[in-house]
Structure 1
């Protein structure tokens, strides 16, 4: 995309798993043309300025399938202009977690703006924290030799040997 001076504008690319990206197709009211609306929900633990933005949503114009060698086909790439803030929104909820209606019967919305590069850094940091909490122990078990598939296979062999072969289970010749 080119800017006013004809120069290519810088972009920030954010990666989201497909479960955080929703695609909605609709017909334009005026022209009847089929259009697509993308809604991206930020994962829980995405913190900017010590505020958790998990559950906040934004609507990017484009979402592309993954082209990165670091992710599989279930990831989506969202290009954002680096000089334009991302407008986030979420429903205002009461104490029970139900959306509060406004005067027109719609849900009340809370809005915020975040710099795309800071949002990208927050996503990387939240994934790093998630990995530390959920996967670090498993990687250490595999490095020690305890746990992992080889240990489970050895345990299964030992259990099957302990059971033994019953006499009635031996095959007979006809």
Structure 2
């Protein structure tokens, strides 16, 4: 009986003590400043038979024209453990404005899907502040034209020209 009383007393003191101790939640760490999202992102995904899993955009262009280029982001011979080379620079406002117009126009056309799908992919993403204005252009097997209509081939050429124009417009700081 004495042991039961002692056990109950210890239990009661433990519970009472836990109710009486005030604890404060730790202060949350200050949030890091939010990085703005790129307005336009170009991504090249290598052929399906390559075992790359560290895919990154080749070019990111921000609304103010500031840009980040990773010329070896999709390079097959780069080790996944090695981050891609990163260059900072800009894309001229005239090229940026023309690209915005062309991306929106290409969003309304059929880029086609060839019968061969493991030959890589190129993507142009337009992501303005308003998410309902996003445009995602995807060209599967960019080098393949078999099974595509003349209109689809023309749209894919426009896509390729725009992709190249944005890459070529990058000026390193």
With normalisation by structure 1, the TM-score equals 0.23
More strand by share: 1
Larger radius of gyration: 2
